[in-house]
Structure 1
Amino acid sequence: MAAYYRNEHGESPVALRSPADVDNLIDELLGDRSENVAVLHSLERPLMPAGVPDHELMVGADGGLRGGVLAFMDDGNFVSLGPGGGRGEVIYSIMGNVAEFPERSEIPIMLVRQAVKQFLSSAGKRPACIEWQVPEIW
C-alpha cells in the first residue's frame, strides 16, 4: 500500500506492508496537527487507463481527540459514520491543505486502526468493520 501524507511523499510515497506499518502511520498522524490526514492506495488493484488508482482511502487522526475519520472512494464516496451528534465542524489537514469531513464522521482511533489494517489485508476493498455514510455534499 502506498501512503501520501507529507509534501515530500508526492514523488516518493511511504510503503505500508504490515499492521505495524499501519500503526506507525497512525501514530505519526496523531502527533501532528498540521498534517494529520494520509491518502492511501492499494498497490494490488489495477490502475485506470490514465495510470491513476481507481480508489482512495483517506485516513485522519486527531491526537487531541484520540479519534479519526475515514473516507473511501471508488465507484462512490463514503465517509465513516461516528456515534452521537458529532462535534460540528470536522476539519483535518493534508499536506498543508484543509480537509473537511461531514459531521458525525469521527470514530474512535481503535476503529480507524482496524479499518486501515482491513484495507491493507483485503487488497484495497472498503473496510467492513465500521459503519459508513454517503455524504450529502462532498
Structure 2
Amino acid sequence: MAVFKEEHRDAPLLLDSEHAIDAMVDALIVAGPLHKGAQLESLDRQMLSSGLPDHIFLVGVSADGRFGILSYSTGEEGALIPAGKATVPVATYMFNTYPREFLEPPEVPVDVVRRAVKEFVLSGGQRPTCLEWREEPY
C-alpha cells in the first residue's frame, strides 16, 4: 500500500498490479512540488507487536521526473539508499507536504525507481535486488 496524497493517510492506495505501480509513479512525476514522494508498506509482511510495520520503503521522484530516490529500512538492516556516487550533497523530497532530506544520495533514473517499486510490491515487501544498496549516512 502507498501513501502519497492527503487522502491516502486514512485510505492508503493499494498497489496490486504492475499497472497500479506505474500509475503511482506517473502520479508522482506529475504531482505538485509538495507530493513528490510516497511511503510504501507491504501487507504481506508481519507487523511488529506495536502494530507498526517492520519496514518502510520510500520512493521519491525529482521535480523534472527523470530521477528519483529510494530508501528501504527495517529494524534489522537499518536505513539503506542506493549504492553509488552521490549526485548532490543533500536532496530534499516532499512526502505528503513533509520534507525528507537525504544526505549524499545517489539519485537513480526513474525507470530504476519503477523496477524497484515493482520488485518490492511483487516480492511481498522484500528489499529490491535490481540495484545495490548502502547505509544511509546521517
Paired amino acid for 2:106:
S
CA distance in 2 between counterparts of 1:49 and 1:128 reads: 28
**Under a length normalisation based on structure 2, what TM-score does the superposition of the two structures give?**
0.91
One-letter amino acid of the structure 1 residue matched with residue 80 of structure 2:
F
8 Å contact kept, 1:81–1:107: no
Equivalences, count: 135
Contact 1:81 1:106 in 2 (8 A): no
Q: TM-score, normalised by structure 1?
A: 0.91
Aligned-pair CA distance for 1:63: 4.2
Q: Percent identity?
A: 33
Q: Which deviations, in whole Å up to 9, do the C-alpha atoms of 1:70-118 show, x marking residues without a partner?
A: 0001121101234x44133211101111011122321011111000000
Identify unmatched segments of 5+ residues in structure 1.
Answer: none
Question: Quick one: distance in 2 between partners of 1:11 and 1:85?
Answer: 35
Structure-1 separation of matches of 2:86 and 2:123: 31
- State yes or no: 1:13 paired with 2:15: no
- Is 1:92 paired with 2:81? no
The secondary structure found in structure 2 opposite 1:15 is coil
Q: Is the 8 A contact 1:88 1:103 kept in 2?
A: yes
Q: Which residue in 1 is equivalent to 2:52?
A: 52
Q: CA deviation at 1:6?
A: 1.4
Partner-residue secondary structure (3-state), 2:8: helix
* RMSD of aligned Cα (Å): 1.3
Does the residue aligned with 2:105 lie in a helix, a strand or coil?
coil
Letter in 2 for 1:19: E
**Runs of 4+ residues deviating >4 angstroms:** none
Identify the range of structure 1 (113-122 vs 95-104) with the bigger mean alpha-carbon deviation: 95-104
Residue pairs, 1:23-42, within 5 angstroms = 23-32=22-31, 33-42=33-42
